[in-house]
Structure 1
Amino acid sequence: MATSVPSIFTGDNYVFWPVTMKSYLKAFCLWDVVETGEDLVQRHVNPTLAQIRQFEEDKAKRYKALSCLQSVVADDIFSRIMHLDSPKEVWDHLKDGFFGSDRTRHVQILNLSRQFEMLRMEDDENIKEFSSKMMSLVNQLRLLGKNVTEERLVNKIL
């Protein structure tokens, strides 16, 4: 299975990066480590060989996921996350820093919604160019959690 490495995250277009990164981590069965963020603790006093192997495998997955996240960020972003020990901490730190708080996302949604409402097809623009601009706005809104119905899109084009 050939899986392409996600592009290096430079701080721009955060809304697209986690989508590709999440798919990449899922392809290698590492997303659960990032998502749950569970601390690895060997809970058994006298563990069986199978339990020891599972513990070692889980520990390796944690470091593989951490390595994947560290390797796909630009140097200036790496310097912000290099002190973090778990993939969950890195993921949450990047999300907070680049996706923003609920209030920030709400403002972004308002701005993009306003751009969408004001969007008009120019005289020298063809339908393909217009729909491309419109879908770019719609996709950004959807990534921020705003539902834009197909009916609304059709009305906008008409």
Structure 2
Amino acid sequence: MASQVGIKEHAPYVDVVCVNSYFSWYHDPGHLEVIPIQLNTQFENWYGKYHKPIIQSEYGADAVPGLHSDPPMMFTEEYQNVVLQKYHDVFDQKRKQYVIGELIWNFADFMTAQGITRVVGNKKGVFTRQRQPKAAAFILKERYWRLANETGILPPWTKYPCSL
């Protein structure tokens, strides 16, 4: 909590508030239904206190490549997908108000020290350590193309892709 105290002490002096959260992962693991409630509460609390734009600077869930389950269970690609989709739903509501950015954690899986909370490293990447896409990479690709097409903000050298 010491880091949270430091953040709250400095938040009045910054232009943008960046927040990290892992709802349904480190907090209430396995409970996907809490994401919209907790994420909305997080945003309303930060914005209500500081009235500044917000960037979600970390969010995500681990997924072991090739591990599948229906219904989605923690560490499956389906679970990672649902976590992302639930976060995205809230981002889309709040970006019309004050959420100005989102940064998933992480681009690719990476090795960490051994521990009981990791399966041979951090698996929150949307790509494997060998840079092969997980299902989440396709969710992000579709999302970012949709957002770019909505805003019309694409580099001039880019052609709009076919409808997804």
Which of the five TM-score ranges fits, normalised by the shorter chain? Answer: under 0.3
Larger Rg: 1
Structure with more relative contact order (C-alpha pairs < 8 Å, separation 6 or more): 1
Name the structure with the higher strand share.
2
Q: TM-score, normalised by structure 2?
A: 0.25
Q: TM-score, normalised by structure 1?
A: 0.25
